[in-house]
Structure 1
Amino acid sequence: MTQPILQGRDLVKRYGKVTALDHCDFDLLPGEILAVIGDNGAGKSTLIKALSGAVVPDAGEILLDGKPVKFNVPNDARAAGIETVYQTLAMSPALSIADNMFMGREIKMQGFMGKYLHKLDKKAMEAFAREKLAELGLMTIQNIKQPVETLSGGQRQGVAVARAAAFGSKVVILDEPTAALGVKESRRVLDLILEVRSRGIPIILISHNMPHVFEVADRIHIHRLGRRLCVIKPGDYSMSDAVAFMTGAKEPEMAEVA
């Protein structure tokens, strides 16, 4: 079997008497789009937060390239090459596209100006941002200096995905990337996801939109009651089957249980 690039083993996370992760396992294979689906309260968000450093599990371990890693804060995961695009996008609307791309990792100028006066190299950041947007076919955004608040919802999502793809050397996690978008903008974001995957970057896609999941995912991780119930391939099952597994209306066969 192919060595997973990112794994969770026996992950446990409790909030008082509530168990959000109940000895949960997780596997992301190199170069794949893995959808994570589950009913509200199933523990999907906690799993993703554990993998992205936003939550520290009470027990279990996370492995990256087969080696145990410990993420105490999101910056630990980012330093390891795991980038996350949350549903809220985590952008500063009043700042430019380039400033948002480099938020928290700005490039300083060379020499005295950068070292002692902490002056930013705006030209370098704008050139990099323009290059990354162009690579993903997002140059409908004409002005890299324009504030993010002037962009449409789909364009903002595109900038967030481009930022993740630019710095996520190992894994990109997308949390409900099409939730607030119309049909046309959703289509563009799905194409963007496939474009990122074509560059060899594996993607974890959290979504409630079954048609989108079945269109782009290579495998589907079904989460229920704080743990992985099973992993299925879209070609082997219908959307109705996936929803039935997710809600408990139908149980997977033993061979399907991961």
Structure 2
Amino acid sequence: MSSAPLLEAREIVKSYGHVEALRGADFSLSPGEVVALIGDNGAGKSTLAKILSGTERPDSGEIAVDGEPVVFGSVEEARSAGIETVYQDLALCPDLSPAGNFFLGRELLKPGLLGRLGWLDNAAMRGRTKEACERLGVQLKSQVAPVSTLSGGQRQGVAVARAVTWARRVVFMDEPTAALGVLQTQRVLDLIRGVRDSGVAVVLISHNMQDVKAVSDRVEVLRLGRRVARFDTARVSMEDLVGAMTGAIEHENDR
């Protein structure tokens, strides 16, 4: 069995004009784990996530999936490699139902002549959406109401369940508990555990160290566009995490 990381970045460089967002950043993710990607504002974590999920292209460096070099020219190419993203703004269409959001751009057609005429199979899409939500414990008050009528935690659940439905390997989650209350936050953390248990690896991008400690298996720390530390979450203190983010730890560590 190959010991290569599921997803790996090596020496990624990305600039926007005179601003160096990434200056030789590294990252690795193994199957079946939750890795938290943390860093202060401007550390480069969102830029690295965008590159690994196909939204941006690096100026230089390498990306590998299962040890094989890849080049993602678009989000669609990353998705074809089994990588999905839950964006901080969730990227949901507020006027569409949960099923409408699940299958946006991937709509199912009715079998036979009606399908050839372009008729959508709404019942099938609602059924598959309901099953996907139930697998992750997402409770929705309605399968037909617009997602704008759902609570923040329910909308987050729809976005997560959608990503997991289509992801085969990796789900990126960008600040998934931002602006959520205590109960909604706990529900999202439970969702992240459920995603991992379903066999899909998770990259958690977060400023919330309590969330990081609660659900991640490992932590990778970026500072000034480079990876400066790696930690086993079970053995790292909050002080070590903050120290790596702020520069008290200057060199990459494995703990």
CA offset digits 1:185-229 (Å, max 9, x no partner): 000110111011011111000000001101111000000111111
1:81 to partner: Cα distance: 0.8
| Equivalent AA in structure 1 for residue 194 of structure 2 | E
1:124 to partner: Cα distance: 1.1
Deviates more, 1:68-77 or 1:157-166: 68-77
The 1-side partners of 2:47 and 2:9 are apart by: 12
| Equivalent AA in structure 2 for residue 32 of structure 1 | E
CA offset digits 1:32-85 (Å, max 9, x no partner): 000000000011111000000000111111111111111111111112110100
Question: Is 1:47 aligned to 2:48, yes or no?
Answer: yes
1:12 to partner: Cα distance: 1.0
| Equivalent AA in structure 1 for residue 195 of structure 2 | V
1:249 to partner: Cα distance: 3.0
Question: 1:141 corresponds to which residue?
Answer: 140
The 2-side partners of 1:211 and 1:157 are apart by: 19
Query: 5+ residue gaps in structure 1?
Result: none
| Equivalent AA in structure 2 for residue 34 of structure 1 | V
Question: 1:100 corresponds to which residue?
Answer: 101
1:257 to partner: Cα distance: 5.7
The TM-score, its normalising length taken from structure 2, stands at: 0.96
Question: Is 1:230 aligned to 2:229, yes or no?
Answer: yes
1:58-137 pair list within 5 angstroms: 58-115=59-116, 117-137=117-137
Question: Is 1:34 aligned to 2:26, yes or no?
Answer: no
Question: 2:202 corresponds to which residue?
Answer: 203
The 2-side partners of 1:111 and 1:71 are apart by: 36
Deviates more, 1:243-252 or 1:101-110: 243-252
1:136–1:192 Cα contact (<8 Å) kept: yes
SS in 2 for 1:141: coil
The 2-side partners of 1:148 and 1:204 are apart by: 25
Deviates more, 1:197-206 or 1:71-80: 71-80
The 2-side partners of 1:223 and 1:257 are apart by: 14
Percentage of matched positions with identical amino acids: 53
2:232–2:254 Cα contact (<8 Å) kept: no
Deviates more, 1:159-168 or 1:231-240: 231-240
| Equivalent AA in structure 1 for residue 212 of structure 2 | V
Query: 5+ residue gaps in structure 2?
Result: none
| Equivalent AA in structure 1 for residue 73 of structure 2 | N
| Equivalent AA in structure 2 for residue 79 of structure 1 | S
CA offset digits 1:124-164 (Å, max 9, x no partner): 111100110111111x3132111100100000000100001
SS in 2 for 1:21: strand
2:29–2:35 Cα contact (<8 Å) kept: yes
Calculate the aligned-residue CA RMSD, in Å.
1.5
Question: 2:211 corresponds to which residue?
Answer: 212
1:31–1:200 Cα contact (<8 Å) kept: yes
